[in-house]
Structure 1
Amino acid sequence: MTSTLAAVTRSEVTAALDTVRDPELDEPVTSLGFVASCELSPDGVVEVHLRLPTYFCAPNFAFLMVADAHDAVSAVPGVVRTVIVLDDHFASDAINAGVAARSGFADTFGEQADGELDSLRRDFVRKAVLAGTDRVCRPLIRTGATHEQLAGLCLGDVAASHELDLLRARRAELGLASDDASPLLIDVETGTAVGESELRLHLGRARLSRVNIEANGSICRGMLASRYGVPDHEED
C-alpha cells in the first residue's frame, strides 16, 4: 500500500502549527516553544505534543490552543488522523479527551465552564488589534507624525511592513475594515474611525495593550525555559 503520508512533510505540519496562536499573547505556539514534539507516521497519523509554561495555565486558553492545533494539522492534505496531546497540565486529561472527541469547551468541562470560548477569543483579538495599532503608529510618531495627522491616515497611507500585515489580519478576524481606504485608527468595538477628541485615550489604550501582551509573553517564555530547561525563545 502506498504511504498516505508520503506527500506530507514536517515543514507543512509546522507551517500549520505556525497559524495556532496563544490567545492571550497573540503569538504562534511554535515561536513560543509550546510545541514539544511532532511525529509523522507512515499510515497518515500526526501526533503533536504541546507544553505550557506552568502546570496551572488557564484551562480555557489551553483548550483553545489544543483545539486550534487539531484543526490546523487536520487540514494539512494527506493527514488522515491528528492526535494533539497537552502534557504536564492539571486539566490535560479532560482537554485531550474533549478535543479528541471534538467536543466543545462547555461539553468538556460541564458546570465548571462558563459557556463556549468564542467571546473570550474575540476579546483577545480586540486587544491584539489595539497592540498592533500601537506597533504601527509608534514608528510614525517617532518620525514626527502628530496625533491629528494619525487620525487622518488610512491603512493604505502607511508603508508596508510585517506589523501592518498583522494589524490588517487581526482586524479582518473581527470583521473590521482592513482595506487600504480604511482608517488607521478605529474603535475595536464599533469599527468607526477614532475622532480627535478620543485620540489620546485610544493611543494610550493601544500602548497599554502592547506593553501588557509583550510583558506577559516575556514572563511565559522565561517560565517555560525554567520549567523544561529549554532555551528562551524570545527574540532579541
Structure 2
Amino acid sequence: MTDVQTRPAPRASLLAAEDIRLALSAVQDPELDEPITDLGFVRSIDVSPGTAGAAVTVHLRLPTSFCSPNFAYLMASDSKDAVAALEGVAVVVVELDDHHDSGLINAGLAADAGYRGTFGHEAEDSLDELRWTFRRKAHTAAMERSLTELLRADRGLAEADVGRIRLADLPPGHTKAALLRRREALGLPLEPGARVLVDHRGLPYPPDEVPMALRRARSTRISIDGNAHFCRGLLRTRYAGSGADQNERPEGAEPGDRHTLLPITVKENA
C-alpha cells in the first residue's frame, strides 16, 4: 500500500484580501503622508488562487477626478510593486477608477511602461525626484511635531533654544520613532548627539535662523495635516460609505505611525 502524503497548500491559496491590504499599507499618499489604506483610497481587492500563484486585482479611488496625475500614478505604481513583492502572487492588476487620466495610467501600469513611458513629454520629473520632495516634507513635519511636543512638555524651553536640541533629548514614543524613520529614509544622522532641527541636507541652522526655521516647519506640518483632513472629507462626499474604509489616526499620533515606509527607489521603467 502506497502512503499518500498530504502536501501543504501553496502560499498562493492562503493569500487573502487582508494580506494584500497589509502590503498596501506601506504605500503613502505623497502629499498627505498617510497610508492609502487609512485614507480609504483602496476601493476593492480581489484575490483569485491559481496553480502558479494568486492573481490579485486592486481598484483605487481618489477624492476628486482631478487629483494630480503624477501623485495618482505614483500611488498606483507603488501599489502594484507592493503587492507583486508578496510571496505567492503571480499576477497583479492595479486600476485607478474615476480619474481624468484613468485610461492613460491604467494602460501604462498594465504595460509596465513606467512613469516616463506612460506620460511621455509631460513627465517633467522622475518618480524618485517626486518621492524625495515629499519625503523631505514629511521629515520636516515629523521634526516639527517632535520639537513642539518637547516645547509643550518643557515650558522653560524657548523656541529660540530648540536649535540645540539633539535626538537624545527627545522623549521616547511614537513621535520620536516616526522622526527617526523619516531621517533614516533620507539618510540623515541617527546618532543620539545629532541635532533635531536640520535642513534637508542634515545641516543645523544658525541660532538667529532657528525661530523662522521652526515656523516654516510648522507651516509645512499644518498644510499636510489640513490637506489630509480635507481629502478625507472629499472622499466621503464623492463615495457614499467610503468613510467606513478610513482609519482616523488618534489625537497626537504621527501619520502612518503603524506602518513601514517604502524605499525611495521603487521599480520604474524608463
Which TM bucket (shorter chain)? Answer: over 0.9
Any stretches of 5+ residues in structure 2 without a counterpart?
Answer: 1-6, 251-270
Aligned partner of 1:39: which letter? D
The one-letter amino acid paired with 2:111 is: A
Distance 1:37 1:181 in 2: 46
Matching of residues 71-150 of structure 1 within 5 Å: 71-143=81-153, 144=155, 145-150=157-162
Q: 1:224 aligns with which of 223, 235, 254?
A: 235
Query: Which residue number in structure 2 is paired with residue 180 of structure 1?
Result: 192
Q: Give the equivalent residue in structure 1 for 2:173.
A: 161
CA contact (8 A) 2:11 2:87 kept: no
After TM superposition, the score normalised by the length of structure 2 is 0.81
Q: Distance in 1 between matches of 2:48 and 2:11?
A: 9
Residue 83 of structure 1: CA displacement?
1.1
Structure 1 unaligned segments of length 5 or more: list them. none
Q: Which shows bigger deviation, 51-60 or 96-105?
A: 96-105
Partner in structure 1 of residue 256 of structure 2: none
- Distance in 2 between residues matched to 1:156 and 1:81, nearest whole Å: 46
Kindly provide the CA deviation profile for residues 96-148 of structure 1, in whole angstroms up to 9, marking residues without a partner as x.
12122222211111122214222222111111111111111112111222235
Contact 2:163–2:196 (Cα < 8 Å) also in 1: yes
Letter in 1 for 2:130: L
Deviation at 1:74, TM superposition (A): 0.8
Deviation track 1:134-180 (CA, whole Å, cap 9, x = no partner) reads 11111211122223542222213211222222222222222222343
In structure 1, how many angstroms separate the alpha carbons of the residues matched to 2:227 and 2:120? 29
TM-score (norm 1): 0.92
Structure 2 residue corresponding to 1:5, chosen from 6, 9, 12 = 12
Residue of structure 2 equivalent to 1:191: 202
Per-residue Cα deviation, 1:199-228 (whole angstroms, up to 9, x for no partner): 111100110001101111111111100000
Equivalent residue pairs, number: 235
Choose 1 or 2 for highest CA Rg.
Answer: 2
After superposition, the C-alpha distances for 1:34-86 in whole angstroms (9 at most, x for unaligned) are: 00111111121111110000011110000000010011111111111111111
SS of corresponding position for 2:89:
coil
CA distance in 1, matches of 2:95, 2:192: 41
- Give the drift of 1:181: 3.0
Q: Which piece of structure 1 moves more, 75-84 or 62-71?
A: 75-84
Would you say the 8 A contact 2:160–2:211 is kept in 1?
A: no
Residue of 212, 217, 221 corresponding to 1:201: 212
1:109 maps to a residue whose letter is F
Give the equivalent residue in structure 1 for 2:29: 22
1:152 to 164, 168, 181: 164
**Contact map agreement 2:58 2:93 (CA 8 A) in 1:** yes
Matched-pair identity in %:
41
Q: Larger relative contact order (C-alpha < 8 A, sep ≥ 6)?
A: 2
**Alpha-carbon distance, 1:7 to partner:** 3.4
Q: Distance in 1 between matches of 2:194 and 2:62?
A: 37
Whichever residue aligns with residue 137 of structure 2, its letter is K
* Match status 1:61 vs 2:68: no
